[in-house]
Amino acid sequence: MADALLEVRDLRTYIYTRRGIVKAVDGATFSVRRGETLGIVGESGSGKSMTCLSILRLVPEPGGRIVGGQIVFDGEDLLAKSPEEMRRLRGSRIAMILQDPMASLNPAMTVGEQIAETLSLHRGLRGRALDERVVELLRQVRISDPERRVHAYPHQMSGGIRQRVAGAIAISCQPSLLIADEPTTSLDVTIQAQYLRLLKEIQRETSLALVFVTHDLGIVAKLCDRVAVMYAGRIVELGRTRDIFNRPRHPYAVGLLSCLPTLRRGREPLTAIEGQPPDLAHVPSGCSFTPRCPMAEPRCGEKRPSLEAIEPDHLVACLRAGDLATAGPRVTSIATAPAPPLIDTSGTGDVVLEARQLTKHFPLARGTIFSRTFGTVKAVDGVDFVLRRGETLGLVGESGCGKTTTARLVLSLERPTAGGVFFRGRDIHSLARPERGGYRRAVQAVFQDPYSSLNPRLTIRTTVSEPLVQTEPDLSRTEIDARVAESLTRVGLRPRIAADYPHELSGGQRQRVAIARALTTNPECILLDEAVSALDVSIRAQVMNLLREIQDRLGVSYLFIAHDLAVVKYVSTRIGVMYLGKLVETAAADELYTNPLHPYTQVLLNNALPAHPDDVREEVILKGEVPSAFDPPSGCRFHPRCPQALPVCGEMEPVLGEQSSGHQVACHLY
């Protein structure tokens, strides 16, 4: 492309290991124009991050090597440059933002020193000019009070502010190309909306070319001009974002879009992509997607398709691309989608779990030996909810709102300061020791990262049987093995994997093992704390379908905590919205999404990622950040940021009251 700032041609990056050659990038081809945003999407292990590292010549050593292809940036071949030339180019003309800002920021240096380091190295600024430029950059990325924040350390800032600091370092030398590798994965809905808007504003001001790596198709729909779909180290489809969403031509792109839960989607099962991505050390011949492709023919396994244009600016690597030409849109925009039918949420089932004025305050103390309490963090402050048999209650809200503390109280990992959690009408913290064992059998948990929650030194059998050994010590080994096999079968795993270790399984299989472990005691309730947020879109669809299937078959109740609003809607029958330790609105899932009442709920839904490029709308950006739970605002805790605040909101705390059948809201507007 004559007007391309960056051209990657047949890039091949291999990693030489003891088990063979891992073809991390195996013939990737794409380009980026000036001022354009290119999204790169695909499952974990598809080669997205390694492609970005290859552009910057930061392939991990030892073992990593760029073995072929070309990387042309602004007319210069980057693979022909010396290491010293690349050092001068990184940061000054090509910059990168990584997923975890805490890993990329030095904890021993203030943020001002870290920004200044880049400016001194690449621009030679010193003294007062350097100090002024650092403050100007913090202001440019919309960090309030930059004169004070410049002296802060990374650990003294929230995740959203740290990610903005990483952005300030990246744009400090006004690069022509910015590579962002999953920079919003750990951000809340509102912070994510602010960050994406910030990137677009910087791009408009500087004509910056942006390569945005993500597994979230909603970000692609909202931010990207073009999208490259990557699978097994290759680009399999490349084109304008709207074209890809309306008429994807590669079966893998079709599968990714079909996996996507949306705010307007009904409760029909998601169409998950069967199987797992290939081992890049043993990529099958021909098209690498053939083993998982529902349209595969014998010739697909024989010939490797090349990336060819089927329309202007739309390239596909598929022998059957023509058969998908008239298949129609895969993801429907809100403008054309019929509203989903309301589900039955009459709430007539037996009450399994109930929170009554549940409160947890953490005292803050100074000193080590003679410590003195000087304040209280009001993590959870008077929460009421009811969970019935076979129901899913979703909890949503920004980080720090009290969701996880509520979960810890339900699991009896914390004792409440006031109020209580009641199981079958009895306060769980007043149960005798034998009854406590029964509660632990009845209420299980599945956490966000299966690799962290599974012991790497234990086999799957030992891991899954652990709850049984603890709660039913009289069971024989034969009975335990039978229960383990039954649990693994329930979640769609073969019992023979019981002899495997966690590292031998895929991410989706590990999360299924975590669910199987929770099912071994035949629980009545399972608490799911961000249980699908770390999974790829295809694996996430498999796990979400599995959760719904288990609930329908066994009548299990779920307390589901997540920050992805579309996922919460798909899984939940009722939803509670939390803000700074309080429930501000509860309603049936469809009712909440079609008729949100609280201004905070309206902002969350307004800032939710779109399912289609046609659904992109202007966000409502909240003022400031979430206040500290150490010193919450008087009156309504949301009023300092609320776009509809009234004078009474700062004086009197609203009470959660019913506005219609099953729809409660705590707001003075009603």
Tell me: do 164 and 179 sit in the same domain.
no
Q: Where are the alpha helices (DSSP H) in 124-239?
A: 127-140, 146-149, 159-171, 189-206, 217-223
**Of 172, 199, 226, which one is at a domain's C-terminal end?**
172
pLDDT score of 545: 87
What are the contacts of 315-320 at 24+ separation with CB within 8 A?
315/235, 315/237, 315/238, 315/239, 316/236, 316/237, 316/238, 316/249, 316/250, 317/234, 317/235, 317/236, 317/237, 317/250, 317/287, 318/236, 318/237, 318/249, 318/250, 318/251, 318/287, 319/287, 320/251, 320/295
Tell me: do 241 and 213 sit in the same domain.
yes
Tell me: do 161 and 38 sit in the same domain.
no
Please check whether residue 99 lies inside any domain of the structure: no
Instruction: For residue 251, report the phi and psi dihedrals to the nearest 5 degrees.
Output: -55, -30
Q: Whats the size of the chain, residue-wise?
A: 670
Tens digits of residue pLDDT in 461-520: 999 999 888 888 888 999 999 999 998 988 878 888 899 998 888 777 888 899 899 988
The region that residue 45 occupies, defined by phi over 0 for left and psi between -120 and 50 for alpha, beta otherwise, is: left
> What's the rounded Cα separation, in Å, for the pair 386 and 389?
10
Please check whether residue 188 lies inside any domain of the structure: yes
Please check whether residue 555 lies inside any domain of the structure: yes
pLDDT score of 345: 46
Decide if pLDDT at 536 tops 80. no
Count the neighbouring beta carbons within 10 Å of the beta carbon of residue 119: 20
> What's the rounded Cα separation, in Å, for the pair 516 and 475?
18
> What's the rounded Cα separation, in Å, for the pair 525 and 507?
24
**Of 324, 339, 371, which one is at a domain's C-terminal end?**
324
3-state secondary structure of 199: helix
Please check whether residue 161 lies inside any domain of the structure: yes
Decide if pLDDT at 115 tops 80. yes
Please check whether residue 561 lies inside any domain of the structure: yes
Name the percent of the chain lying above pLDDT 70. Answer: 93
- Highest-pLDDT range among 331-335, 473-477, 540-544: 473-477
> What's the rounded Cα separation, in Å, for the pair 130 and 86?
24
Instruction: For residue 478, report the phi and psi dihedrals to the nearest 5 degrees.
Output: -65, -45
> What's the rounded Cα separation, in Å, for the pair 450 and 643?
39
The residue-averaged pLDDT of 550-569 equals 89
Tell me: do 142 and 179 sit in the same domain.
no
3-state secondary structure of 240: strand
Tell me: do 266 and 314 sit in the same domain.
yes
pLDDT score of 342: 46
What's this model's pTM, rounded to 2 decimal places?
0.84
525 pLDDT band, cuts 50/70/90, is: very high
pLDDT score of 562: 86
Range of the domain at 482: 351-665
Please check whether residue 343 lies inside any domain of the structure: no
On average, the pLDDT of the chain sits at 87
Tell me: do 318 and 426 sit in the same domain.
no
Domains contained in the chain, number: 3
Helix (H) or strand (E) holding 243: helix 241-246
Please check whether residue 228 lies inside any domain of the structure: yes
Tell me: do 575 and 626 sit in the same domain.
yes
Q: Which residue has the tokens 């409160």?
A: 359
Angle at 276 between CA 274 and CA 278, to 5 degrees: 135
Tell me: do 426 and 310 sit in the same domain.
no
First to last CA, the chain: 57
Tens digits of residue pLDDT in 599-648: 999 999 988 888 888 888 777 777 766 777 778 899 999 999 999 999 99
Q: Distance of CA 399 to CAs 145, 325, 576, 628, 629, Å?
A: 22, 43, 15, 11, 11
343 pLDDT band, cuts 50/70/90, is: very low
- Greatest alpha-carbon pair distance for the chain in Å reads 76
Q: Distance of CA 215 to CAs 243, 262, 269, 348, 563, Å?
A: 18, 15, 20, 39, 16
Strands (E), 414-476: 418-423, 426-427, 443-446
> What's the rounded Cα separation, in Å, for the pair 555 and 135?
56
Buried b (16+ CB within 10 A) or exposed e, 447-469: bbebeebbeeeebbbebbbebbe
Pick from 176, 347, 346, 323: nearest CA to 250? 323
Q: What is the CATH number of the domain that holds 468?
A: 3.40.50.300
> What's the rounded Cα separation, in Å, for the pair 165 and 157?
10
Pick from 226, 207, 245, 208: nearest CA to 313? 226
Helix (H) or strand (E) holding 553: helix 537-554
Helix 460-471, helix 477-490: angle, nearest 10: 120
Tell me: do 502 and 581 sit in the same domain.
yes
Tell me: do 195 and 241 sit in the same domain.
yes
> What's the rounded Cα separation, in Å, for the pair 239 and 555?
44
Tell me: do 278 and 427 sit in the same domain.
no
Gyration radius of the chain over CA positions: 26
Tens digits of residue pLDDT in 281-306: 888 889 999 999 989 999 998 888 99
Tell me: do 446 and 569 sit in the same domain.
yes
